[in-house]
């Protein structure tokens, strides 16, 4: 490849252009630094010396003397909110919203920050007013999401349904699981106030929104049983099989009591045993164990638990088996079994909890909405002690197929 002599001319030209650009940037930087007030640099100095209160006062002085420093005011407002000084954050963002010369994007940001201030302060009605006004001109996902959070906090489930439906459009995400739970909450309110027809109508809407809403059938079965309609209650609970059979443990006790009320304990026990065989679960096993002991005696209950532990070995199942052994053991063996029981039980209790798949929150009781992260239906219907066993059981079924 021959050497191109024009490169000798081009290199000095490129070097000269770079030098000129650097000089221009340097002059611009020096000009901007001269325009910045001394209070700004004092604030930086206080910040570097870990004196945040004095730094904030200096930055406030800058913001007051130079209203065009919008980004600084946003930063101060967010800082106040994080420090818990929500009243100062509210005033800062209110001043920004009130400015007529503020560009639309910055006005939107100021309104959104103000709504967050109100939310943090617990002034949910004020936050709702700001966001509802924003939603009229700006139907974006973050506005609808914030509105939905407010309606959930206020337990205004009718508005939550409306916000979730709008959020489905703006966020392009399915919210039918959440909407079905909001309908269930409305149904519970109706039932508490003795309006059974209204409650049933909301449960129907929950199933319309999400046909796999197990909660709707659990509630329907419970309320029908309470009204003495046991056959209809059993039918509602049986529908869970086509939704998610892992939840049968939550319905098992009610199902057996309805069979008792109908005088069909044998049929009820046979059904529950069949469910336990097909969809093993610790909650379901506990009900089947108690029902077997009541109907057929302690020996039959012991054989049931023994076979179940062999089939699906878990520490909680072993705890139940030791219970059964204690009932049938001779007096001279009970002391050793009780010692074993105490050791197994203490470890089993630590594992017999429900786990939120979203945030990892553990709870002794089942929740439809996680108390920690607020997610809906994030708790597994199975306790942590049986999750691995359930996975193995599912794998065996798939292999068999």
**Which residue numbers belong to the known binding site?**
356, 359, 370, 373
CA 125, 130, 136, 142: dihedral to nearest 10 degrees?
A: -100
Burial class of residue 391 (count of CB atoms within 10 Å of its CB; 0-12, 13-18, 19+): exposed
Residues 188 and 216 sit within 8 Å (Cβ to Cβ): no
Category of 50 on φ-ψ map: left (φ > 0), alpha (ψ -120 to 50) or beta: left
Q: What spatial distance separates the first Cα and last Cα of the chain, rounded to whole Å? A: 70
Question: Residue 341: what are its φ and ψ, rounded to 5°?
Answer: -60, -45
CA distance 305 to 324: 8
Break the chain down into helix, strand, coil percent, rounded to 5: 80, 0, 20
Q: Which two tokens stand for residue 398?
A: 């798939």
CA distance 401 to 394: 11
Name the residue among 141, 219, 128 with its Cα closest to residue 175.
141
Annotated binding site for Fe cation: 356, 359, 370, 373
Category of 155 on φ-ψ map: left (φ > 0), alpha (ψ -120 to 50) or beta: left
Helices 315-328 and 298-311, axial angle in degrees (round to 10): 150
CA distance 6 to 100: 57
Question: Residue 224: what are its φ and ψ, rounded to 5°?
Answer: -65, -40
Give the number of other Cβ atoms within 10 Å of residue 82's Cβ.
Answer: 11
Question: Residue 118: what are its φ and ψ, rounded to 5°?
Answer: -60, -40
């Amino acid at each position: 490849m021959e050497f191109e002599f024009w490169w000798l001319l081009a290199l000095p030209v490129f070097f000269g252009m770079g030098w000129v650009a650097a000089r221009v940037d340097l002059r611009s930087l020096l000009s901007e630094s001269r325009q910045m007030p001394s209070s700004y640099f004092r604030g930086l100095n206080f910040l570097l010396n870990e004196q945040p209160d004095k730094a904030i006062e200096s930055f406030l002085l800058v913001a007051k003397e130079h209203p065009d420093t919008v980004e600084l005011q946003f930063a101060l407002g967010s800082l106040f909110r994080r420090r818990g000084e929500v009243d100062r954050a509210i005033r800062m963002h209110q001043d920004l919203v009130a400015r007529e010369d503020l560009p639309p994007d910055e006005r939107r940001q100021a309104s959104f920050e103000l709504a967050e201030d109100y939310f943090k302060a617990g002034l949910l009605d004020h936050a709702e007013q700001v966001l509802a006004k924003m939603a009229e001109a700006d139907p974006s996902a973050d506005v609808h999401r914030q509105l939905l959070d407010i309606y959930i906090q206020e337990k205004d489930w009718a508005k939550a349904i409306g916000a979730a439906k709008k959020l489905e459009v703006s966020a392009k995400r399915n919210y039918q699981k959440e909407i079905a739970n909001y309908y269930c909450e409305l149904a519970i309110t109706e039932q508490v106030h003795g309006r059974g027809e209204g409650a049933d109508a909301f449960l129907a809407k929950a199933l319309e929104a999400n046909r796999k809403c197990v909660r709707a059938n659990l509630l329907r079965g419970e309320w029908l049983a309470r009204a003495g309609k046991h056959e209809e209650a059993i039918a509602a609970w049986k529908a869970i099989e086509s939704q998610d059979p892992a939840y049968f443990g939550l319905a098992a006790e009610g199902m057996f009591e309805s069979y008792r009320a109908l005088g069909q304990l044998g049929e009820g026990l046979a059904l529950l045993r069949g469910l336990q065989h097909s969809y093993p679960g610790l909650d379901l096993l506990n009900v089947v164990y108690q029902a077997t002991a009541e109907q057929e005696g302690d020996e039959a209950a012991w054989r049931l638990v023994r076979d179940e532990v062999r089939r699906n070995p878990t520490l909680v199942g072993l705890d139940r088996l030791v219970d059964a052994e204690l009932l049938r053991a001779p007096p001279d063996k009970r002391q050793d079994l009780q010692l074993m029981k105490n050791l197994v039980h203490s470890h089993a209790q630590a594992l017999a909890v429900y786990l939120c798949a979203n945030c990892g929150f553990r709870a002794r009781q089942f929740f439809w909405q996680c108390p920690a992260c607020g997610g809906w239906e994030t708790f597994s219907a199975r306790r942590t002690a049986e999750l691995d066993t359930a996975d193995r059981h599912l794998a065996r079924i798939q292999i068999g197929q």
